[in-house]
Every structure is written in C-alpha cells, then in structure tokens.
Amino acid sequence: MYKTDFAWPDGAHIAVVFNMSWEIPPTHHLAPLPKQKYKRAMRPVYETAFADTGGMQRLLDLWQRHNIKTSVYADGLGVSLFHGVAKEAADAGHEFIVQGWDHGFLYEQTVDEQKKSIVDTNEAFLKVLGKKATGFSSAGGHLTAETFDILAELDFKYSCGLRNAEVPFIIRVGNKKMVGMTSYAVSDTPTARGMAPREVVTMWRDYFDALYDEGRRGYPKMLAYGTHPVLAHGHRTRPLEEVIEYVKSKEKVWITTRGEIADWVLKKYPEHDLAKFYPEAVASDKHYGLGIGLGGEEARKVSFHFREE
C-alpha cells in the first residue's frame, strides 16, 4: 500500500478529522441569473446567509454534543463580521485555519494579492480570536505555484487542499518544512447537487470502512469529512450524526484536528516526504508541477509554467 513505516498515536488504525468550512463568498460568486433585470439574485444571498446564523449554531451544537473538536476553515471577512460566533467556536476548542479573506480563489489573484489575503485573514484571527492560525487551506482547494513559498515565508506549519494522497507528508521549501495533507475526501456538497443526504453518508461510511481496514492491515491513513454551515439543514445533519456515532463505535480511531496531525508528523516523521510513502511521487511532481518539494528545478519550472502575469 505504501513503502515506509508510519503509525498514528496509540496504534490507531485511522485518523479522522471533521472539518467545518465556514465560507463568505465574494459577491461575484453570487451572480444574477441570465436575463435578470437586477444585479443580485437574492435567493443564493439568503441561502448563503444561513451559514452565519442557523448553520453555524446547528453544527456547533452537534460538535458539542458529540465531544468533537473540529478544524474550521474560515475567511478573514467572516471572522471580522461575525466575531461573536467565531469566538464561540474558538472558545469551544475548535481549531481555525486560514482560508483567505473572502473565499476568492487563488488562481484569480496576483502573487501579492494571494499573500495579502492570507496575511489579512490571520490578522483578523489575531484581533478577534486572540491568536493566529498555523494552518492554511485555500478556497476550493485551488493552490498555486506560489502557495507553499508564501506559507513558508509566513511560518505556517501545514497546508491542506492537496488531494494526491491519503497520508500526511513533509513539504520542503528551502530549509523549512511544513506538513501537506489532503483536503476533505468526502463532503456534504453532493447534497446541494441532487444527491440524497442518506446516499452521501453511506458513501462516507464506506470510505471510512475501506481506510479503517487498510489501517488494520498496517497502512494507517487519514480521512477528513467536510461539512459546511451553509448546508447544515436538519435533513443533512441528522444522517451525519449517525456517521459520527458509527465512527466513534470503532476501536483504535483517532478523532483529531489537522493541527494535531501536523504536530505528530513534524515530531515523529520529519523526513517523510511523499516519496517515502510512494516513490512515484517524484515523477508525479516533475510531470504535474505539484510544488511538494520533490522533482527539483524541473518540477518548479512546470508549476510556474502556467502563471499568466
């Protein structure tokens, strides 16, 4: 399954993270319908606003009742606007992760704009929550050629948003190291595209069973579930609770946060880049330009090749 020794604390078969993606989309992501006579389509505006009221409160209640600490992807604008609920989440022990100022995609931004979005968001975290985040996950998982250089310069400990592995791994940027890890592998977003919530949670349970079995056979993985306050309606969260109860019923499961995973890897496996797990990752970085510290200058050239100035 992979080529190195790797283990979770206390020999857990799987590490499970419950993510909460609290998003404040920029206005151009709420575009009006074709032929509309108004500049705003209010239905998606109202639906999006649910995230900051009932959606956040329902998920915070769910995590509290199940004694789960989550990793909260958050935008600087959201924390600045809704500092009460942001503080409520932080005071409950949930970890905040920088996502960007207003959920704009990095590929829409210049390098300076990308850096400013990250810096301004962490300053908002410091002002409202009392501390900066050490983790980053770009909006929509859209990383750029410059992302890891920016994060290393700003002393981030880890980055999510990668979808090329189910194990966490070391990314080297110059003489610095950070942990790279998958974005959420499965999320509630298919329920917004017509898939029934109970179909989605069956998929969540099947994914858990597959990775749990691999962990029992000596190849422990991480599995991140993605939830969104904007989608936290009762018909979605009720089946989710059944998945939580199922995961908690299994032995040797580490329900944790991304920050705790990053700390574990940096302490126990500081040399475990992705090639330690999968030697093919070197050629993969050279071909795709993944920017994960493998493949040398050839990989960097590929990653920067598509930048349009």
Tens digits of residue pLDDT in 132-148: 999 999 888 888 889 99
Task: Check residue 31 and give its pLDDT.
Answer: 62
Domain spanning 9-275: CATH superfamily: Glycoside hydrolase/deacetylase (3.20.20.370)
Q: Which amino acid is at 284?
A: S
Task: Check residue 27 and give its pLDDT.
Answer: 62
Task: Check residue 30 and give its pLDDT.
Answer: 62
Instruction: Decide: 178 and 157 in contact? Cβ < 8 Å.
Output: yes
Instruction: Decide: 253 and 13 in contact? Cβ < 8 Å.
Output: yes
pLDDT digits (tens, 9 = 90+) for 221-251: 999 999 999 999 999 999 999 999 999 999 9
Task: Check residue 139 and give its pLDDT.
Answer: 85
- Predicted structure pTM score: 0.94
Question: Counting beta carbons within 10 angstroms of the beta carbon of residue 91, is it exposed (0 to 12), middle (13 to 18) or buried (19 or more)?
Answer: exposed
Name the β-bridge partners of 18.
225
Tokens 């074709």 -> residue: 34
- On the question of pLDDT at 33 being above 70, the answer is no
What percent of the chain has pLDDT above 90? 77
Domain extents in the chain: 9-275, 279-309
